[in-house]
Structure 1
């Protein structure tokens, strides 16, 4: 039903596609600066100030990207499940979400960064996050070329 509606309406398909792209922009636009800060860049910016806002923005972005992506998926599901780039993107998406959930379970990272204490586990998780989300975007762009 969803696939038929999208295929019948190029305008609706375009709007859902634009929503997907904007959602990815919100996700990466929030997570990249936060990851860089947690890795030690921009030390003059307190984590407790930007962390909650950026992590919530990234969460909204990923939720919107998943919702719009699932909608787009319905149009060519049979082709996507055979596309290695799509499968890589899904794996990276799962890794990124798992990393973020794990990261949230080690809440003391917020206090230590502002106190100036180095937190190697948080830096490592931020690095994994940075590489994972950027790779996910690259894999997503790769889908159309396979």
Structure 2
């Protein structure tokens, strides 16, 4: 009887921990999407402001760099600026989050129900999806995925 109660308590604690990790992970996906929306908007503003080549949009560039820095804390990214001053942001090795004035987003889903494994899809034009779950090698989302998988 004692072992049964201990097992139930352990299961409830584990379930609670997994739910908390899932909630934080989903919040991080939302944050990536928010930042992913901010970068192309800043790209557009910078391009408009600097269009004639006589002005420099330092404050907007700083804001864009800050958004990219925050993204790098969450996921493994690479970024580069094109000759027109627009930044492209790539997650992992080859999934484009931001390209010029366009953005794409991440979407988290559960495989196998509420306590199943998390799946992160990159969603691009025409609702094309790509599983990016194993793409995350660095950043907070990578750590959260590893922790959650260990909990299960």
Q: Shorter-normalised TM-score: what interval?
A: 0.3 to 0.5
Q: Which is strand-richer, 1 or 2?
A: 2
Structure having the higher helix fraction is: 1
Q: Structure 1-normalised TM-score?
A: 0.42
> Which of these two proteins has the greater Rg computed from alpha carbons?
2
Which of 1 and 2 has higher RCO (CA within 8 Å, sep 6+)? Answer: 1
